[in-house]
Amino acid sequence: MAKHLVMAGRLLEIDPQLSFEHALAASRRGGRLGCVREAVGLTAYAAGQYAEALREFRTYRRITGDHTHLPEMVDSERALGRHSKALELAGEVDLGTLDRAVRVELVMVLSGVHRDLGDVDSALKVLQVPELDRNRGFSFSPRLFRAYADALEEAGRGGEAKDWRHQARVAERALGIGEFSDPEIVDFGVEEDVRPERRPRARDLVPPGSTGEETEGDAATPAPAAAGSEDGQPDDDHPGRDRAVADDLAEEGLVVVDSREDASEGAAPWEDAPDDHPGQRPDSASRPDRDPQGD
């Protein structure tokens, strides 16, 4: 069972269907374990098997009482064309009881449901949450900003949509994700077997016939300074690039925030988010919503 779960995790982004088959194989031996049903649900969702994903997520929730995968459940209902059931499922849970990241994922899915139904006003309103803040960058902010921009575009507010798409790029740059993520470097070179040098002995250091005493006028030669530095001082590990990025982000006024922090810190309560000025604090001046059907 464990080996099947490991392979399911490794193949999730490479071959979702094969990953799903490994998870199913694991469920034949550990079907009563919440972690196994969760794995089956996640792999089924990634493979586009939305009916199976919905069933497995329901089972996982019944076993554990955890609502972590409510966004995937609602999105699965949407993918199956059951928009009314998607809205009904989302209404079963108080949004204020969900973790911040789960809550934001859910409102992005709900915005997509409302857009599918042609209700652009509701699609905009559901996204107006405290985390929709130009001045703070959470891990989910770029996708949230783009989802809001898409809804604004559909509402005919193209100028505002352009501003939010720009802010999504600013957030990506601050978080170091998307096109601003550091490339993964793999070194395929084979290290040579370098033998340690023999430690010098006294006879190697003192020339023949010398007493070993330093004669007048002799002086120790100072060690050369490190390359690329002055007076032996090492260069900065991060030259101008990081400083330039910090200056740009300071001009934008965006602060990176850990999404695991409590929602009450630095943000209004969930139910107090203003409708007309989303995400603006009193002292402040996409992934787009998931669309498994490709619409």
Domain of 29, CATH number, reads 1.25.40
pTM exceeds cut of 0.85: no
CA distance 190 to 181: 27
Both tokens of residue 108?
Answer: 């992005």
Both tokens of 172, joined, read: 């990506």
Number of domains in the chain: 2
- 138/133 Cα distance (integer angstroms): 9
Query: Is the pLDDT reported for residue 90 higher than 60?
Result: yes
Q: What is the span of the domain harbouring residue 61?
A: 1-66
> Six-digit token pair at 203?
């006879």
Q: What are phi and psi for residue 105, nearest 5 degrees?
A: -60, -40
Cα(20)–Cα(4) distance, integer angstroms:
10
Lowest mean pLDDT among 47-56, 120-129, 180-189, 194-203: 194-203
* pLDDT computed for residue 174 by the predictor: 86
Top pLDDT among 259 and 29 is at 29
Are 109 and 154 contained in the same domain?
A: yes
Contacts with 73 (C-beta within 8 Å, 6 or more apart), sequence order: 53, 54, 57, 58, 61, 89
What's the average model confidence in pLDDT over 205-211? 57
Within a domain: 87: yes
Residue 261 lies in a domain: yes
* Residue 32 shares a structural domain with residue 168: no
Q: In whole angstroms, give the CA distance from residue 69 to residue 77.
A: 13
pLDDT, average across residues 129-150: 93
Could you give the 3-state DSSP secondary structure of residue 283?
Answer: coil
Q: Indicate if 29 and 119 belong to the same structural domain.
A: no
More confident site: 146 or 194? 146
**Domain contains 11:** yes
The predicted structure's pLDDT at residue 253: 65
The mean pLDDT value of the chain amounts to 77
Q: Is residue 270 part of a domain?
A: yes
Residues with Cβ within 8 Å of 61's Cβ and at least 6 positions away in sequence, in order, are: 67, 69, 70, 73
